[in-house]
A and B are shown apart, each in its own frame.
Chain A
């Protein structure tokens, strides 16, 4: 392993390299550093809620904030994942209702964000998801049943983060953003061109760790793309009680990084913005912040009652902006999707749903000794003693049950 020279030391002029990079990035686009950091005046949108291509002049792009339309192949692949993601969300919610899972925080309505978050990354990149990002994790290629293990209640995780380069889904808010920063820092020290996508929601931007993560990433000039899914609610608390910033993307400027906001139900715009952010981060432009404007269509989890804090009319308004329908219309109108294509995609979605039903439908016996097996790499004498205590207790239970029969 080679460690590069001390990249944090100020240069001869006393300016930190991060500051240079910001200037460089601005020069690259022929705009001022402020205009590079500030999000474009409007959110980026390429396909409108009715599935029509937004006229180029109205896409929200401007000098230094230019986004080419992603290729047809990428869009078709994204649509397929959108349909699968929607099916996964609805299947999981059904499994909770049937008592097969303890809880499921659904990303229904946010599938465009979920899909784009996974598709913008290369094989060697990392993703740090939250508890609501199961679909993003599956889109990244992690086995759906392994992803759902945490919600079935067998264990607090189900997949190997190192193998998939996907952090373990995080329930405390924004703590994982600092882990993302650390992974990016380690990769940078080794000279690897890894980009890390660090995910959180709108409510989470109020947490102290959000501030610390963005600041660390900026100061160390790390290839991290912070991706905020602004779904408008932190359980019951609306965004207005969370922040009065012009937008969450505007927070970037305070850290000396670039911010952008994008229609979070438009997978085309999401791919364009995230692809570019990942590319810039990989090229050494430092961290970026992308805010996706979306909506949590369902309650926080099955245990929450959203009627207590929001109006049905608001939900209906967002139903009309559905990311899956929008993309179907767009691709169909462009002649990229026909009945056969739909059928093939639908079949794939059903196969994943069946996999979830089969995998979560059976009662996998749990081994009580698992309690002790994974606490340390080297078990302590005390845990060995407690493990033997439980084994003895269970053996006595079993023999007394046998005797009773």
Chain B
């Protein structure tokens, strides 16, 4: 029962040589035709490369993103392919990275910048909150900031302090920022391409525990779909997905919590209970329509998030659903979130993170006897 700390790359929040090799071999096979096993890391890497091919104004910069290819290898190979003018390392200063991106975006570029870890982005908070989020508004739309701030976020990797924060609520709370968070491999590709295409600044929150998750994906097909959608002016921004259909209750999750919600739904099915899982996908803009349609159908809901529950994205979701679906609810909406404590050390994180049992307990509490 006692949790052990492992030496695996996942436990350290960085990519070891072995993992990098695994990702590279996945990359090699992914280039073949048809669906191939692709990691989320590879899907993101491909999305960056495709966006850079498609538009010479797309630039990538940050800490260790050049020669090293990023501590998670998301920018692997970009400097080699596109040169040091388009993918480069900056001095070690997050506020500098974001602030310079603002100027570049004002002057014809589409910067895609990396904050190395969630909690290392805070020195840039002023730039993000006071400038990235407000420029369009202050200038009445005269200045657009087509920039993407990529943030590896959330826990589940046994990371040391400052490597596991769920910081999405700070950004979602800031008016003027769009907040995307993919939960699947195809969405990682699709949503990053759409974020880069967007004329609004996007906080792109990447669940780092899912970087090595794999799915059978045809990257060529995704690329073509994206081109067709972009030409037609279509985007999946603001659209939640029904990750698993069900009838008895709705689990609403995003990013790292989606696979946990799906596992809970699978377990509930064995007990004869049909749970629908909604993947929020874009926290801002929020898809009230899809989420509320599901809750009106099932009449019961549990919101799942790793972040602290207090004053969070999960509280916002509960408030919105309650306002819109009150007369369809058979029970108060429940939440399963992280406790209101600083993100714990590796050996304690399993008590902190929402897990299948805690979700099933919350589902059991949805007043079924009525």
Contacts and interface: CB of A to CB of B under 8 A. Distances in A.
B91 A242 contact: yes
Nearest to A397: B357
A103 interface: yes
A305 B16 contact: yes
Given A102-B5, A204-B92, A305-B16, A372 B119 contact: no
Contacts of B71: 235, 303-304
Interface string B1-45: 011111101011111110010000000000000000000000000
Interface stretch (A35-43, A153-161, A267-275): A153-161
Interface stretch (B158-166, B185-193, B253-261, B279-287): B158-166
Interface string A202-244: 0110111100000000000000000000000011110001110
A309 B67 contact: yes
Contact of B89 (A152, A172, A208, A237): A237
Contacts of A307: 17
A309 B310 contact: no
Interface string B110-129: 00000000011011000000
Interface string A192-209: 000000000001101111
A371 B338 CA distance: 11
A236 B65 CA distance: 9
Interface stretch (A106-114, A348-356, A360-368): A360-368
Interface string A144-164: 000000111111100000000
B345 interface: yes
Contact of A171 (B17, B162, B340, B341): B162
A152 B161 CA distance: 12
B9 A303 contact: yes
Nearest to A390: B351
Interface in B177-211: none
Nearest to A237: B89
Residue of B6, B17, B68, B120 most packed against chain A (CB within 10 A): B68
Contact of B339 (A172, A365, A371): A371
B92 A234 contact: yes
Contact of B341 (A102, A207, A372): A372
B346 interface: yes
A370 B348 contact: yes
A206 B96 contact: yes
B16 A371 contact: no
A393 interface: yes
Interface string B155-177: 00011111000000000000000
A175 B6 CA distance: 29
Contact of B92 (A152, A153, A242): A242
Interface stretch (A26-34, A74-82, A93-101): A93-101
A395 interface: no
Contact of A208 (B119, B123, B159, B351): B123
A301 interface: yes
B347 interface: yes
B158 A153 contact: yes
A98 B69 CA distance: 28
Nearest to A156: B161
A234 B68 CA distance: 11
Interface residues of B, number: 53
A172 B68 contact: no
B235 interface: no
A237 B63 contact: yes
A363 B4 contact: yes
A73 B345 CA distance: 41
B158 A365 contact: no
Chain A binding surface, main DSSP class: loop
Contacts of B226: none
B312 interface: no
A154 B7 contact: no
Contact of B347 (A154, A236, A305, A397): A154
B86 to A, nearest CB: 16
Residue of B16, B162, B341 most packed against chain A (CB within 10 A): B341
A130 to B, nearest CB: 12
A308 interface: yes
A144 B15 CA distance: 28
Interface string A364-405: 011010111001000010110010001001000100000000
A375 B348 CA distance: 14
B109 interface: no
Interface in B337-359: 339-342, 344-348, 351-352, 357-358
B315 interface: no
B93 A208 contact: yes
A246 B337 CA distance: 51
B13 A308 contact: no
A21 interface: no
A173 interface: yes
Residue of A96, A153, A207, A242 most packed against chain B (CB within 10 A): A153
A243 B91 contact: yes
Given A97-B7, A102-B11, A208-B93, A308 B68 contact: yes
B63 A154 contact: no
B361 interface: yes
A308 to B, nearest CB: 6
Residue of B2, B6, B12, B345 most packed against chain A (CB within 10 A): B345
A366 B92 contact: no
B348 A368 contact: yes
Interface in A164-201: 171-173
A172 B2 contact: no
Contact of A150 (B63, B161, B342): B161
Contacts of A153: 5, 158, 160, 345-347
Nearest to B10: A303
A247 interface: no
Contact of B95 (A155, A208, A365): A208
A203 B4 contact: no
Nearest to B3: A366
A302 interface: yes
B361 A393 contact: yes
Contact of B123 (A207, A234, A390, A393): A207
Contact of A372 (B2, B12, B67, B339): B339
B248 to A, nearest CB: 23
9 contacts: A102-B7, A102-B158, A103-B12, A208-B93, A236-B64, A370-B348, A371-B348, A383-B341, A397-B357
List of 3 A-B pairs having minimum Cβ-Cβ separation, nearest first: A303-B14, A153-B346, A236-B68
Given A153-B5, A386-B341, 13 more contacts: A98-B7, A102-B12, A151-B160, A208-B96, A209-B123, A236-B67, A302-B16, A303-B13, A303-B14, A371-B339, A382-B340, A386-B339, A397-B357
Interface of B: 2-7, 9, 11-17, 20, 63-64, 66-69, 71, 89-93, 95-96, 119-120, 122-123, 158-162, 310, 339-342, 344-348, 351-352, 357-358, 361
